[in-house]
Amino acid sequence: MSVEIQSLDPRINRLGLHTHEPGSPDTLPPHDHWGTYQVFHQKKRGDRHTAVGIVHAPGAELAMAYAKEQFGRRGETANLWVVDTRHVMALDYADQDMFATTPEKTYRDPGGYKVNDKIDAYREKMSHEHTP
């Protein structure tokens, strides 16, 4: 038996809600909450945009409105981007090993070119040769 909800909150009483009737489940259909947009937040001018999360929205404009509420409601915000999740191509984490040897490629890093010991040795040698 469904009974009317009695609340301490007059606004809830005005809704005239009833308790759930067993055997009459209410279900949202699939996709009822729309698709998702990835949100990118830029804190200050000059900063990069950073991925901060998602919002559900039927289109980019509403996604932006939700992004402002969800990711721009406190602190600083200079700019926001929203991108339909379907338009993001991402690698599989299972393929992460393709980058495994990258840190070893020291010929691509400034740190891979150490010559101070050569210079020191050269100066040492020269100073001996010129000593009378």
Distance CA 56, CA 36 (A): 4
Size of the site for other proteins (CB under 8 A): 44
At a CB cut-off of 8 Å and minimum separation 6, what does 25 contact?
none
Which token pair is 100?
Answer: 């495994």
- Comparing CB distances to other proteins, the nearer of 69 and 129 is 69
Interface with other proteins includes 131 (CB under 8 A)?
no
Interface with other proteins includes 17 (CB under 8 A)?
yes
Distance CA 132, CA 121 (A): 19
Interface with other proteins includes 123 (CB under 8 A)?
no
Q: Measured over all CA atoms, what is the biggest interatomic distance in the chain, rounded to whole angstroms?
A: 112
Interface with other proteins includes 36 (CB under 8 A)?
yes
Q: How far is the CB of 30 from other proteins (least distance, A)?
A: 6
Interface with other proteins includes 97 (CB under 8 A)?
no
Q: Which listed residue (85, 121, 122, 125) binds other proteins by CB under 8 A?
A: 85
Distance CA 45, CA 50 (A): 13
Distance CA 124, CA 45 (A): 51
Window contacting other proteins (CB under 8 A); options: 47-55, 98-106, 109-117, 124-132:
47-55
